[in-house]
């Protein structure tokens, strides 16, 4: 289980794991864009920025970077209204090789007010045991 320092209290209270490593892959729990005080911004753009900051912190804690992301699934409560803002923000931080990306519209997300949620799979090769 990968738990950034900033999420330790939330993990203790909820019992969820922000990320689990399986071999060379890291599977991140879905991230929404709620603020640290528990409030949810009104726009998908701001929610995306906050959610991606959480994802990047989890990746850093595990020894990865945004370049480690190999698969991204985004869930949207109104894909027609919000996709452009989400796409713009993702393109600002992602780089070649781009991850596989699936965008899905859903009726609602678990967090009240959430408009977007991201699920990430990252590739984090383990150091070779035979390396000098």
- CA 69-85-103 angle, to 5 degrees, is 50
- How confident is the model at residue 90, as a pLDDT? 95
- How confident is the model at residue 36, as a pLDDT? 83
- How confident is the model at residue 130, as a pLDDT? 47
- How confident is the model at residue 17, as a pLDDT? 82
Q: CA nearest 117: which of 2, 14, 31?
A: 31
pLDDT averaged over 10-residue windows placed end to end, the chain, 132 residues = 67 76 94 91 97 94 94 98 97 92 97 96 78 52
Radius of gyration of the chain (CA): 15
- How confident is the model at residue 3, as a pLDDT? 66
- Confidence (pTM): 0.87
- How confident is the model at residue 54, as a pLDDT? 92
CA quadruple 47, 60, 11, 19: dihedral, nearest 10: 90
């Amino acid at each position: 289980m990968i738990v950034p320092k900033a999420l330790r209290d939330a993990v203790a209270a909820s019992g969820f794991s922000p990320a689990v490593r399986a071999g060379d892959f890291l599977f991140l729990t879905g991230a929404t864009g709620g603020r640290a005080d528990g409030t949810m911004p009104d726009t998908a753009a701001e929610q995306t920025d906050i959610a991606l900051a959480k994802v990047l912190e989890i990746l850093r804690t595990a020894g990865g970077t945004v370049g480690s992301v190999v698969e991204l699934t985004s869930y949207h409560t109104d894909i027609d209204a919000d996709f452009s803002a989400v796409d713009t923000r993702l393109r600002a931080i992602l780089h070649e090789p781009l991850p596989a990306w699936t965008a899905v519209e859903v009726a609602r997300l678990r967090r009240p007010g959430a408009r977007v949620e991201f699920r990430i799979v990252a590739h984090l090769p383990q150091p070779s045991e035979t390396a000098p």
